[in-house]
């Protein structure tokens, strides 16, 4: 076969190998679970906007911010936002021991 065809086949082969390597790297990146990270520098916690600046040394590009409103409150390490359901239902603490809140 002519040299041109051999060169074209080699170039296509290299391109295919590069795409496979890129695809495998992408699969490795997307399969990691950042919420289950074992990074010793990871910090969990919550703050209101008035005190957020006090924690600025812990904030970065991968910080997750969840915004509530004036009716949002904390209950057992959860952030509860009733969204108007407090006026519709009686949302008091559960007394049934089988229910886990």
Do 49 and 18 lie in one domain? The reply is no
- Per DSSP, the three-state class of 34 is helix
Do 46 and 85 lie in one domain? The reply is yes
Counted domains in the chain: 2
28, part of any domain: yes
Do 26 and 45 lie in one domain? The reply is no
Do 64 and 85 lie in one domain? The reply is yes
Q: Sort strands 78-80 and 73-75 into parallel, antiparallel or unpaired.
A: antiparallel
The answer to whether residues 81 and 69 touch, using CB atoms and an 8 Å cutoff, is yes
Question: For position 33, what pLDDT does the model report?
Answer: 55
Do 50 and 84 lie in one domain? The reply is yes
97, part of any domain: no
Write the CB contacts of 73 (distance below 8 Å, at least 6 apart in sequence): 79, 80
Question: For position 93, what pLDDT does the model report?
Answer: 54
Do 61 and 85 lie in one domain? The reply is yes
Range of 45's domain? Answer: 41-91
Do 58 and 75 lie in one domain? The reply is yes
Question: For position 98, what pLDDT does the model report?
Answer: 58
| pLDDT reading at 94 higher than 70 | no
For residues 91 and 82, give the distance between their C-alpha atoms in angstroms, rounded to a whole number: 9
Question: Can you give the pTM of this predicted structure?
Answer: 0.34
If pLDDT is split at 50, 70 and 90, which confidence band does 95 have?
A: low
Do 53 and 87 lie in one domain? The reply is yes
Do 53 and 84 lie in one domain? The reply is yes
């Amino acid at each position: 076969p002519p040299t041109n065809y051999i060169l074209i086949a080699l170039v296509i082969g290299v391109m295919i190998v590069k795409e496979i390597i890129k695809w495998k790297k992408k699969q490795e990146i997307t399969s990691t679970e950042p919420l289950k990270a074992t990074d010793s520098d990871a910090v969990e916690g919550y703050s209101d906007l008035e005190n957020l600046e006090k924690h600025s040394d812990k904030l970065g590009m991968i910080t997750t911010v969840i915004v509530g409103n004036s009716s949002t409150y904390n209950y057992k390490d959860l952030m509860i936002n009733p969204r108007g359901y407090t006026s519709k239902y009686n949302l008091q603490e559960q007394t049934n021991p089988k229910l886990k809140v």
